[in-house]
Structure 1
Amino acid sequence: MELPTLGKQCSRADCAQLDFLPIQCTHCRQPFCKDHVQPDDHACDALPAPAIASGHAPTAKVQCGVATCTTADFQMVVPCAQCQGQFCLAHRHADQHACVRVGGDTDPNAKARALLQKHFPGSTTSSSAAAPAATTTTSSATPRPVPKKKLPILELMKLKQKAQGDAKTPPAQRSYHAVHLPNSTVAVRYFPKSASVGRVLDTAFALTGMNWKSTVATHDVFLVVEDDVRLPTNAVWSEVVSDGATVVLKVVPKSNA
């Protein structure tokens, strides 16, 4: 028995190895050794052409519309609705590719305002047009200083620091107020929240140094809050006056005096 008649040589020209168990390529049907049996290993010319999905040609890479961009990807470009250019995801926004609107219209709201003006002629549609009307002032007008608006919590803290009153009143039951007296002075006081308005009136009047009997004989004496609402003397203080409110003591001559 002659050994060379056994097996076959590898069909790859630069190999030609004698293989006793050669393997046949499933495409070209040629025998190969185990190292060259794969189609890529012997440049198989019988491989079928790659299938093209849906009958379309392979997609080519598309370059971003920004000249300095080096990004290229398969179909990963986004059309710009304003300039109609094609851009990658990183440059798809108008401010990222120096966008110039087709037709030269740089105001995206111009059409909307024109349509609104057509149907509603008397309406003000442009914020830029409305702004001058709202801010127009004459050269002779003197700007008024804007008063500083203090927070109520800060005002209340100041009242608590300065207020005087009956020390027997528990802190949780105190109502703090600036009391304006008839002699143009202001007393910072605290009163019991459960006290009646009449009792607070007596306490506030005592601060004036005037005689009660002689005063009430010819004058009406009462308390009002900031909006000139007269407080009923039989009401509970905390039910008609909020903590921190300004209180005014009124001494008004009687009409028949």
Structure 2
Amino acid sequence: MAGDAQLLAIGKQCSHSSCLLVDFLPFKCQHCELPYCQEHFLARDHHCSKYDETKHNRVAPNCPLCNEPVTIPPGQDPNVKMESHFSVECSATTGKTKTKSLPVCQRVKCGKPLYSPIRCDKCHKQFCPSHRFPSDHGCSPTSAIGASRLLSLNTNSITTNAKSFNVKASAVGTTVVDAVRKSIPSSSSETSSQRGASSVSTPSKPTSSLSKAFSKTDR
């Protein structure tokens, strides 16, 4: 009897009337807060009196066209509500722009509305609980992306500046060469004209072919 009392003190009995199993790790119902075993802890298994299906079993399937969650009111047929969404609210069929009041998961092809978003410490984006880990959403840190973009921008600017400098240098060189070529014929013509003028203005001294008629001895 003492051993049974110790076992009962450690575990708890299942609250289901037809079970009463002593479970060392019992489950607590979130509605009636009574302990149950593994077979009876769900509300439908122990016919929970405090479970309201209209409050807790709400359905919000995603639209297959616009991927927006469609809330199904209690007691309404989901097919009727989805048809109404297609004809009035769906952006794919009506052409209306999406109005997002809640942030959505930023993983590609997810788009779940985030009632309590989880921000990644590496890429600083918001994700749903299913894609909160870096391996689940293909995390790419923003610092690495920013550094690579900055490096590519610097490289492109340096290349552009070098090309413009080469173009300017070639243009200046061409201008200098043309100026030199134009100055060469004018200087040569000026030199030749100066030579011609000097040859015309400077007369040559006449050389006398006759010797003097009288010398000192003849006097």
Point out which structure has higher relative CO (alpha carbons under 8 A, 6+ apart). Answer: 1
Scaled by the length of structure 2, the TM-score of the pair is 0.24
Higher strand share: 1
Scaled by the length of structure 1, the TM-score of the pair is 0.21
Higher helix share: 2
Larger Rg: 2
